[in-house]
Amino acid sequence: MEEIKDKLELLRGRIPRAILFAIFCAFMIALPALIGKSWLNITVEMLIMALAACSLNLMLGYTGMVSFGPAGLYAVGAYTTGILLAKLGTGIVPAMIAAPIMAAIVGWGVGWICVRRTQVYFALLTLAFAQIIWTIIFEWYPVTGGDDGLVSIPTPDFFFSITNSYYFCLVLVASCIYAIWRIVNSPFGGTLQAIRENPGRVEFIGVNVKRYQLAAFVLSSLFLGVAGSLYCVFSGSAFPDYAHWTKSTDMLVICLLGGIYNFSGPIVGTAVYTILIKTISKHTMQWNLILGVIVVLLVLLMRNGVVGFLSQKLSRHR
Amino acid sequence: MNTVQGISGEPTRLPCETDSEVNPMTLEAALGQMLSGISLGMVWFLIAAGLSIIFGTLKVLNLAHGSIYMLGGFLCYHITSTLSPTPGVFWIALIVAPLLTATVGGFVEVLLLRRIYGQDMIYQYILTFGLILIIGEVCKLVWGVGYNTVAAPWPFQDAVSLFGLAFPRYNLFLIGMGILVFVGLRALIGATGLGGIIRAVTHNREVASALGINVPVVYTGVFMLGCWLAGLAGALMPPMSVVALGADLSVIIDCFIIVVIGGLGSLPGAFLGAIILGLTTAFGLYIIPKLAVAFGFILMIIVLIIRPWGLMGEPD
């Protein structure tokens, strides 16, 4: 174990980050040639989930707002694209541009009410709004298809090839995650982190905390909308389940699994979570039980997630 | 009122409702709906009271509270079906099932929750969310995915005629139980030495500890009391409804709405909130079935905007 750590340490010292990053990019670009179609499918799902989790972490890890309702805004994005394509017959470009805008508008309305309260109440309010969105989708049969959802949404032929879908998602997800990275490393992102650490003091130095929290909420909704829209186009369908609160808790677990105080946490968390589920469900029907045990152990033993855990281990040997 | 899954689960259907047009509401029908709503609200009150007491004292929002309720329902079904021919079997289940759920709660508090007090709230959420998954899956393994029923016990099987309307006796019994538990809890917390200790720990943990109160034991006790209440609700519900998976998630959201309307940590608030939500759901289903599921949430949002700390809660 010690030897491996030393070698890792050596690697870290010798290879600059930029090269590691370039290798990662090359790997992602070469991926369709390396793995089979079913795994490529899973990778696309992972990419979209990673974007959703990063958007959530903008609130969760960077602003310290625990939201229980990200799935609601994700579903707004998915249904906006789905309804525009299936019911109104617009092109793919306006349908995909409208999704984040719609999600941001809904996010602004929801966020405006939610940021009035903090802590438990904030979490419960976001949960309530997500459930309202779920209810609207579930009940508004003529527009959303109710519990049948929207199926066989007409998407361009381009997306019939899984490789095309993969590259499309890769480019879009990568640019969105880059945008989020720029946001959290900007002075604005710094203010958000200051709010996370101590909202009271930030208020004292003359920052309008609520306004910043609302901004974080809207930005998070915007990117969740992109993720939802992508998933709708990729799968060619939209279901009320997208807004269900179990979907929100999935996203929360992913963020926590990867580590909410690292930018790459949600991305790593998505990969670990997806692989865990795929392998566990191959062997047993009771994967919920195992997932529950993993979640409990995670909270008790590895609170900073996989990324936090690893970076702690590595820095100790530096 | 046949199922508990009013707000968040499958839309509940009442026998009398139609989707197409608004029913003209007679006085008898209104009274009938009112009694249904209140009896449903009473079961919710038991669960919400446990949730609220736990939050008030431990400052932990127990997401798995609905799972404890569901476990109570399954245990009630299990006991009544195994001891089937014995007379008064339901009453045995009503005593044993809540005690078992309280024991489960005790283990959860001592082994798991105790390690995360004072940490960020997200860890409580995720930990108790993990418990939802575990308890749900264990129930599925033991009792399967079917719908199980429990017959209404003697002497509450048949219906009683009220205002010219046949009304199940069992629902009246539920209303009585709700009021009894409310008064009992008020007395326990307000007028006994034990209640004094709980109140002291709720107000200030450090000072209570300095005065020689064994705070960890009080925490465990309060958590077990909350789980006992959830188990009691779970055992009371089956004769009025069915025992099935999925009740955990739907009931917990209803309870969140109740405690937010009433005020987190306030017992009278939970009582008031439960009645309000019960009535809203019953009348909402009767008048606009399609929107009934949203009424509870709309109510909660209105309360949070006008009086963010809840109707009976105190501003922080």
pLDDT for B189 = 86
Q: Which domains does chain B have, with CATH numbers?
A: 27-306 (1.10.3470)
Q: Is the pLDDT of residue A246 over 60?
A: yes
Which of A112, A120, A297 would you mutate first to test chain B, the one with the most B CBs within 10 A? A120
Q: What is the mean pLDDT of residues B26-33?
A: 77
pLDDT for A222 = 94
pLDDT for A316 = 65
Q: Identify all chain B residues contacting A252, using CB atoms and an 8 Å cutoff.
A: 122, 125-126, 129
Please choose, from the candidates A264, A253, A274, A258, the residue with its C-alpha nearest in 3D space to the C-alpha of residue A309.
A258
Q: List the structure tokens of A278.
A: 């795929």
Q: Which helix (H) or strand (E) holds A85?
A: helix A70-86
Pairing of strands B165-168, B159-162: antiparallel
pLDDT for A228 = 93
Quote the CA–CA distance of A281 and A276 in Å, as a whole number: 8
Q: Is the pLDDT of residue A318 over 60?
A: no
- Residue-wise pLDDT tens digits, B145-159: 888 877 777 777 777
Distance from CA of B133 to the nearest CA of A (A): 5
Please choose, from the candidates B11, B116, B131, B256, the residue with its C-alpha nearest in 3D space to the C-alpha of residue A293.
B131
Q: What is the mean pLDDT of residues B265-278?
A: 89
pLDDT for B250 = 80
Q: Is the pLDDT of residue B9 over 60?
A: no
pLDDT for A220 = 94
Helix-helix angle A305-316:A245-258, to 10 degrees: 10
Q: What is the mean pLDDT of residues B169-195?
A: 88
pLDDT for A270 = 92
Q: What is the mean pLDDT of residues A94-106?
A: 91
Q: Is the pLDDT of residue A185 over 50?
A: yes
Chain B from 83 to 122: CB within 8 A of any A CB: 112, 115-116, 119, 121-122
- Residue-wise pLDDT tens digits, A108-158: 999 988 887 777 778 878 887 888 888 888 888 888 887 888 887 887 777
Higher pLDDT, B226 or B164: B226
Q: What is the mean pLDDT of residues B29-45?
A: 86
- Residue-wise pLDDT tens digits, B67-122: 999 999 999 999 888 887 777 788 888 889 999 999 999 999 999 888 888 777 77
Q: What is the mean pLDDT of chain B?
A: 82
Which of A268-277, B20-29, B105-114, B141-150 comes out lowest in average pLDDT? B20-29
Q: Which residue of A has its CA nearest to B116?
A: A300
Quote the CA–CA distance of B229 and B131 in Å, as a whole number: 18
pLDDT for B313 = 76
Higher pLDDT, B295 or A182: A182
pLDDT for A48 = 92
Sequence spans of domains, chain A: 36-244
Distance from CA of B71 to the nearest CA of A (A): 15
Q: Write the residue in B133, B260, B297 that is nearest to A291 by C-beta.
A: B133
3-state secondary structure B113-139: HHHHCCCCHHHHHHHHHHHHHHHHHHH
pLDDT for A2 = 62
Please tell me the pTM assigned to this model. Answer: 0.81
Higher pLDDT, B166 or A269: A269
Q: Is the pLDDT of residue A293 over 50?
A: yes
Q: Write the residue in B112, B123, B264 that is nearest to A303 by C-beta.
A: B123
pLDDT for B126 = 82
Which of A34-38, A207-211, B68-72, B164-168 comes out lowest in average pLDDT? B164-168
Please choose, from the candidates B3, B19, B40, B4, the residue with its C-alpha nearest in 3D space to the C-alpha of residue B291.
B19
Which of B113, B304, B309 would you mutate first to test chain A, the one with the most A CBs within 10 A? B304
pLDDT for A238 = 87
Residue B162 has what DSSP assignment?
E
Residue A143 contacts B where some CB pair is shorter than 8 Å:
no
Residue B225 contacts A where some CB pair is shorter than 8 Å:
no
Q: What is the mean pLDDT of chain A?
A: 85
Apex B39 CA angle, B34 and B42, nearest 5: 125
Q: Write the residue in B129, B249, B253 that is nearest to A295 by C-beta.
A: B129
pLDDT for A7 = 63
Distance from CA of A128 to the nearest CA of B (A): 6
pLDDT for B3 = 39
pLDDT for B232 = 93
pLDDT for A252 = 87
Q: Is the pLDDT of residue B7 over 70?
A: no
Quote the CA–CA distance of B295 and B276 in Å, as a whole number: 11
Which of A124-128, A249-253, B134-138, B235-239 comes out lowest in average pLDDT? A124-128
Q: What is the mean pLDDT of residues A173-198?
A: 91
